[in-house]
Structure 1
Amino acid sequence: MSSLSDLWDRLLGSQPAPPRLIVLGTAVLALAVVGPYRTWRISRHVVTIAHEGGHALTALLTGRRLSGIRLHSDTSGLTVSRGRPTGPGMIATSLAGYLTPALTGLLGAVLLARGRITLMLWAGLVVLAAMLIMIRNVFGVVSVVTTIAVVFAVSWFASAQTQAAFAYFAVWLLLCGAVRPIVELQRMRRRGQAPYSDADQLARLTRLPGIFWVAFFWIGTVATLFLGGSLLLGEMTRGWI
């Protein structure tokens, strides 16, 4: 009982804000892995997991039947659900993908601003474990299991300062990494390489042009980046007062 109580306190208790250097350093590191192509090819897998998780969760919440999720080594992904091919449920499911990494980062920023570092990490573990059940290809399983193992190892064995650095980096990565795929999406659309993209599916469902949805994704993710960043940096500036 004592161990269970300690675990509960550890999960729900607040942790002190990390040093300012960690907050800034993790932001710079996130930008460094999102910017260059070589590091982006690796870090983009995290964004893809969140992207496909957003499709899957929204499909379930709107009453669609989730068939499975696939994650591919080229950082693309596919979520298949069954239900009406048109209507609000399908629109919401198509809309969720590009916005989910940014919204997940924003939720993480809210938790970090309140000192809930361990809770943020364990919430991520729960979501990843639930997602793992619906993965339908080998690379996807390896990708999600590896992510779970890394997050668990940090949250269970690492020092408090290391946990804080990892959590802040993960949130910055989601916030910053949510923007670049939208730029890549429009570049592919211009070249005619993405006829079945989320933006084009939304165009067929709503009769609004695909560029409208690309702009919507971009504005939403950039606004979320600024909002989430202000929460993280606001916590830092409070430490200066």
Structure 2
Amino acid sequence: MDRSARRQLAEHIAGEVTMSDDPGATLRKWRTEFDVTGAELASTLDVSPSVVSDYESGRRDSPGIGVVRRFVEGLLDIDETRGGDRLRQFARVLSAGFDSDIVQDLREYPATVPLARFYDAVDATEVVAGGSLEDGPRTVAGHTVINSLEAISRLSSEEFYRLYGQSTNRTLVFTGVTRGEGPLVALRVATPTPTAVLLHGLSEAELWEHAPRLARADGYSLSVTEQPLEETLAGLRALP
């Protein structure tokens, strides 16, 4: 793992914790993001599990910068022993210039993945098939998972364009949607359009009635999934 990328990520997490109105909850959020148990972290830090629990619950005074630094380095050390997947994931998000609350996952695959396999991994239902049979098997080379509500409330129009427009042969996954009109309308101004769009947390019956027409007009595959978010993220991370 690039040391500078690790350092940048460590500084980002530490800064978020120290600036938080509830540092314990933010510590817990990051431990959960890295899929590390309290017992695992306690063992790495050579403290009792109750110490980790007390800081996360607020039963101890707000952690100082020394405690936060140890906590963060412990998470990164554990992840590196597992192969560094989460570290690389968050480093990619930061390098793209977006906060992890907005971009929840961002990956480039070592080899293209058939779109049908992608959909199987996240239990998705395809509503509109993009491309044509003459184009050959449909594949994607990566994905970006975007919290739609956070993006709408926090990104400028320029940042919207940069986030959407940089996505070409990949799937854009939007979470926090109600019917899907917000992200799909925003996609109309982005070029080039992605290969596929997945709306998370929707059934086909709940989908905005104009969504299929927009997908056909812009030529991307449109799908929905009601799978719990953690299962969806786990399915995406299992892709090669």
Say whether the fold is shared (TM-score over 0.5).
Answer: no
Q: Answer with 1 or 2: which has the greater Rg.
A: 2
Q: TM-score, normalised by structure 1?
A: 0.23
Q: TM-score, normalised by structure 2?
A: 0.23
Which structure carries more strand by proportion?
2
Higher relative contact order (CA 8 A, sep 6+): 1
Which structure carries more helix by proportion?
1
